[in-house]
Amino acid sequence: MLPTIRPNVVQLHPYSPGRPIADVQRELGLSNIINLASNENPLGPSPKAIEAMQLALEGVHIYPDAMSTEACEAIATKLNLERPQVLVGNGSEELIGLIGQTFIGSELDEVIAGDPSFARYATVAGVAPCRFIAVPLDSELRIDLVAVANAITPRTRLIFLASPNNPTGTIFEKAAFESFLATVPGHVVLVLDEAYFEFAKDDPSYPHGLDYLRPNVIVLRTFSKSHGLAGIRAGFMVAAPEVIDAVGRVQAPFAVNNLAQVAIVAALDDEEFLQKTIEHNARGRTQMTEALEQLGYRVYKSHANFVLVDVREPAQPVFQALLREGVIVRGGHVLGLPTCLRVSIGTDAEVDRFIAAFSDVMAGRVAS
């Protein structure tokens, strides 16, 4: 007899990751494959972070600092914050879950997020369990802040806003956000997920979450994207000290490993590498956008390290055709955008290869 599993857990939708290269190699017998599905940094990690992790390897038999002291202090110093305002996590995904555990206390509670957006927001509500309110994006696939505000009720506990949003790459602008923020009551915790912050920060219309800190606002950022540390899981949250203390009480001991902690400190010290990443991404994003638009396809304005293209037909067959060309992208059929593909910005050679493969695939579909 099987043990009883909570019904809400059975109903959760498992996370659907991008296809691993090895998986596609086995399935299709291909050897030369590129992966543009997971929004990773094609330049890899900072050389300083690599060196720091190599030096730390001999100490992995020792438990990490449970408080991530040096990492938190480095983040606080870099962002002109106080140490008690920062909590480091095993990726910002861990922190998203901890926030849910900290603030959701009843099945009648509500969590609001844009739709489509990062899938883990719905998971937070499903695990609790509580009610998840999915607010459709607007016609430009931006988070509709007016609609989000209208969805707030006395039972609302959390609002997750990703900007830039994943999977669309779109942002909401300062004026609209400031008007929205004025409508958020104090009992609601507003979580600003800025996983792609570095790729958007120089746009003057983009609101930086740290400029809007208050007792009910949490800002999430990650080292997985621009810093190239996705494989060791490192993210952080910034909030009022009382909120940091509460979420920290829920976090498991030693949640952030030794390598992640030293890599955070080193990565923050490598501004040259970060700027190189930002410039590379901007160049590749422009190239990919212009090429796809010249082919006649709509590309939504992205402020992230990927683009979203509407192929004007069910995306699954196009996704499969690109796989056969050895190009892995993210199909919109698993993202709530069934006619779209999300494509990460790779190396210069990978961007060129995607454009060529996409052009050939779509030309073949038109011809047939």
Per-residue confidence band for 293, with pLDDT thresholds at 50, 70 and 90: very high
Per-residue confidence band for 19, with pLDDT thresholds at 50, 70 and 90: confident
CATH number of 47-270, picked from 3.10.129.10, 3.40.640.10, 3.40.50.300, 3.40.50.720: 3.40.640.10
The structure's pTM equals 0.96
Per-residue confidence band for 119, with pLDDT thresholds at 50, 70 and 90: very high
Rounded average pLDDT over 235-258: 98
Half-sphere exposure of 314 (CA within 13 A, CB side): 3
Per-residue confidence band for 14, with pLDDT thresholds at 50, 70 and 90: confident
Instruction: Give the pLDDT confidence of 44-78 residue by residue, as tens digits.
Output: 999 999 999 999 999 999 999 999 999 999 999 99
In the chain, where does the domain assigned CATH 3.40.640.10 lie?
A: 47-270
Higher pLDDT, 348 or 365: 348
CATH of domain 7-44+272-367: 3.90.1150.10
Rounded average pLDDT over 287-294: 98
Q: Using a pLDDT cut of 70, give the percent of the chain over it.
A: 99
Higher pLDDT, 4 or 303: 303
Per-residue confidence band for 365, with pLDDT thresholds at 50, 70 and 90: confident
Per-residue confidence band for 9, with pLDDT thresholds at 50, 70 and 90: confident
Rounded average pLDDT over 275-293: 98
Per-residue confidence band for 24, with pLDDT thresholds at 50, 70 and 90: confident
Instruction: Yes or no: say if 226 and 73 are a contact pair by the CB < 8 Å rule.
Output: no
| 286 pLDDT higher than 80 | yes
